[in-house]
Structure 1
Amino acid sequence: MKKFNKYVLKIYLLNLISVLALILILYTFFQIIQHTKYLSKYNTSLFNILVYDFLKIPYSIYQVFPVAGATAVVITILKLIKNNELIAYLSLGGKIKDLVLLIVILNFIFTGILIYYSDVINPKIESIRKKFKEEKIYKEKYIKNFSLTDFYFKEKNFIYSIGLIAFDKKTFFDITIYKIKDNNIIKVVKADKAIYKGNNVWIFYNYKSFDTSDIPKIEYSYKKLESLDNTLTQLINLPSDEPKRLTFKELDKIIKTYESKGLNADKYKLIYYNKISVPLILIVMIIFLIPLSIDISRNYQYIKIASKSLSFSMLFWILQSICISLGKSGILTPVLANFTSHIIFTFFGLYLITKKEKGL
């Protein structure tokens, strides 16, 4: 690696660490101030609030890293311009595209780390943080739970209707199963509750079966019935946690299960691709911010360069927010919702790099 490349990377890394530390300090400080309301509301201690907010720092790094990285890039370029080092680099045959590629390669490493972190480390830390909040701040027993209400799906010739799924209790409530033949309902099974006992075994309570093929009549009724049901077992074994804390593997399992039941899985696909798109924001911003920040004319102004970079960065975030909102409403597919702004600004950055190369 050339000495100049090492020098640029060193400046960039120092700026990145400084900006990231500053953002984290400010963000954590305001979080602590905001959570001081817990002192009187839940009669907890300041120490518990500090621990709770410090536990969020690892996830905060994941959230603010793209912003810190983009800011560090602009500061680095401005410093090179101020010291006339960028002019010397370009005068000796250096290329803007090579400078962009250098920083992009470094940040691809950071991007990989962030994706791994969001998939493996963050879900564990967030679970610890949630448990700490329940037990130390709310002073309640922590119960890991997740539920779905008014759940419907079709499985072969059966339609399942479930009033409530309580994953933490391995229990379904208000179950109705319709058997379909030739577009007619020929059988209806109802139960107030079904509890999973393991090994595909279910205990149904107030179980009733109705024959509706001709004149509706009750076939049999049980206050308690033990039975096997593979379909219900598949559902109850879905990961029982908040969607944003799920891993790629868990999200993939949910998506495949939903699609196999004929259900819309876009909500989970949106989260799946978002775990990839957020770390990649850093790469995209570097591609368009470096050429935007480079100005070697005699009339350049630091404030003007910084303002221009900030303006286009805000445009990127606004477009990204709009696309995600359109994805949540179903107007855009999960892939387009997460990566439309990436594609547009990547091409914009490549255009600027080509233009700057020709202009120099």
Structure 2
Amino acid sequence: MILKRYVLKQFLQIYLLTLGALVGMFLVIDCFERIDEFVSRSAPLSYLFFYYVYKVPFIFFFMAPQAVLLATVVTLATLARNNEFTAMKACGIGVTRITLPILSCSIVIAFFVVIINEFVAPVTSEKMNYIYYVKVRGMEEQGQLQRDNIWLRSANGAIWNISFYDPGKSLMRGASLLYYDEEELFMRRRIDAEQVLWNGKQWEFLKGSIRYFGKESLDKTEFFEKEFFPVLETPTDFQKIQKRPEELSLREMYGIIQANETEGLDTHQIWVDLHQKLSYPFVSVVLALIGIPLSIRSSRNGGILFCVAVSLSMGFVFSFLYAMGISLGHGGTFNPILATWGPCFLFVCIGLYLLLTMDSDRLLPI
């Protein structure tokens, strides 16, 4: 028990220092890249400050697993350098018992990252993007980056088609609302409006027309300057469509997938994004499993820097394969599960192989 606490304490101290350093480096580099835009647009210093405050959970999501690899390597290399690892083995303590606190902690970190990414990061990422795209760049530029030509099936069966939606103003431009006869499959009514604005209680349709259709032809057309129609959607329903993947929780992503599948829309890419959100935190466990045998093996032939170099090389290979899997998943070459979990499963197998062949230099002469 004392041994477990000692190893765990060493690991956590190094992990927190490593994580802080990685997050800090990311913030500094990103700040140098973006500060010119903040200054050129005369943005207040508070915008820059809060932008990076809100960005911390987003960075934490990506850096937490990488910090596990570094902390694992440095912890075990330090124990080996101080001959503590050798002393533990001489007392009959196996490698599994020595490293179990590190593996257990990596699992806890993975679940903690999942929780942060589900309940904290979506909120802070939305605020971060709002500051950058709306407050700093201005609503027009933000609008250019948002998805246009939105299609959404209403709960009452009507279909929205929106050329442009401004979530900041709850304003639609070039909106159409299509009503179909579900039994005979023809459009019976179409509402078009230049603008549709949310007034706090309902949507105002401005400068548009209502067209009524029979089975074979247009029956009549009515024009209006301002009109109200009974629709069930609120601005929140359209904002969910506009959110970037980092602004969505797993529950929201799954809800969008269900809605899109109901409408017959392709959901392959968002399935990949969902599995990426779910699988990436567990990269912590994968990298710990890789880092343990590599650091022990390489510590025989070099110091801490050599251990770090060997382990980071393997970590880089994993990151490359993981990113390639995501890219192939988005492109439709791989299914979402293979694209996101495949590299993890492969490296878990490699890690287990390295652990089982720890004492066989013939199989892996590091």
Specify the TM-score bucket, using the shorter chain as the normaliser: 0.7 to 0.9
Q: Secondary structure at 2:297's aligned position in 1?
A: coil
Q: Please give the root-mean-square deviation of Cα atoms over the aligned residues, in Å.
A: 3.7
- Asked whether 1:163 is paired with 2:202, we answer no
- Asked whether 1:101 is paired with 2:103, we answer no
Q: Do 1:134 and 1:141's aligned partners in 2 also have CA atoms closer than 8 Å? A: yes
- Asked whether 1:84 is paired with 2:83, we answer yes
- Counterparts of 1:131-170 in structure 2, within 5 Å, are 131-133=130-132, 137=136, 148-152=147-151, 161-168=161-168, 169=170
Which of 156-165 and 322-331 deviates more?
A: 156-165
Aligned residue in 2 for 1:60: 59
- Counterparts of 1:1-360 in structure 2, within 5 Å, are 1=1, 3-38=2-37, 40-44=39-43, 49-133=48-132, 137=136, 148-152=147-151, 161-168=161-168, 169=170, 171=172, 173-175=174-176, 177=178, 179=180, 185=186, 187=188, 189-192=190-193, 193-195=195-197, 203=205, 205-214=207-216, 216-223=217-224, 224-230=226-232, 236=238, 238=240, 240-295=242-297, 300-302=301-303, 303-356=305-358
Q: Secondary structure at 1:255's aligned position in 2?
A: helix
- Going from structure 1 to structure 2, the CA distance change for 1:256 and 1:170 (only over 3 Å counts) comes to farther
- Going from structure 1 to structure 2, the CA distance change for 1:313 and 1:97 (only over 3 Å counts) comes to same
- Going from structure 1 to structure 2, the CA distance change for 1:211 and 1:341 (only over 3 Å counts) comes to same
Which of 248-257 and 147-156 deviates more?
A: 147-156
Counterpart AA for 1:256: Q
Measured after TM superposition, the shift of residue 217 of structure 1 is: 3.0
1:273 & 1:148 partners in 2: Cα distance? 22
Deviation digits for residues 105-159 of structure 1 (CA, Å, limit 9, x no counterpart): 1122222221111121122323443444468755x68999895422346789977
Counterpart AA for 1:265: T
Query: Structure 1 stretches of 5 or more lacking a match?
Result: none
- Going from structure 1 to structure 2, the CA distance change for 1:188 and 1:44 (only over 3 Å counts) comes to closer
Measured after TM superposition, the shift of residue 339 of structure 1 is: 1.1
Q: Do 2:70 and 2:308's aligned partners in 1 also have CA atoms closer than 8 Å? A: no
Measured after TM superposition, the shift of residue 100 of structure 1 is: 3.7
Counterpart AA for 1:250: E
1:235 & 1:128 partners in 2: Cα distance? 18
Which of 324-333 and 26-35 deviates more?
A: 26-35
- Going from structure 1 to structure 2, the CA distance change for 1:167 and 1:11 (only over 3 Å counts) comes to same
Q: Secondary structure at 2:149's aligned position in 1?
A: strand
Measured after TM superposition, the shift of residue 212 of structure 1 is: 4.9
Q: Do 2:57 and 2:117's aligned partners in 1 also have CA atoms closer than 8 Å? A: no
* Count of aligned positions: 356
Q: Secondary structure at 1:295's aligned position in 2?
A: helix
Q: Do 1:111 and 1:280's aligned partners in 2 also have CA atoms closer than 8 Å? A: yes
Q: Secondary structure at 2:265's aligned position in 1?
A: coil
1:44 & 1:200 partners in 2: Cα distance? 34
2:235 & 2:266 partners in 1: Cα distance? 20
Measured after TM superposition, the shift of residue 77 of structure 1 is: 1.2
**TM-score (normalised: structure 2):** 0.81
Q: Secondary structure at 1:219's aligned position in 2?
A: strand
Query: Structure 2 stretches of 5 or more lacking a match?
Result: none
Sequence identity of aligned pairs in percent?
19
Deviation digits for residues 270-315 of structure 1 (CA, Å, limit 9, x no counterpart): 2222222221111110011101121389x62235443321221111
Q: Do 2:69 and 2:311's aligned partners in 1 also have CA atoms closer than 8 Å? A: no
Q: Do 1:244 and 1:271's aligned partners in 2 also have CA atoms closer than 8 Å? A: no
Q: Secondary structure at 2:22's aligned position in 1?
A: helix
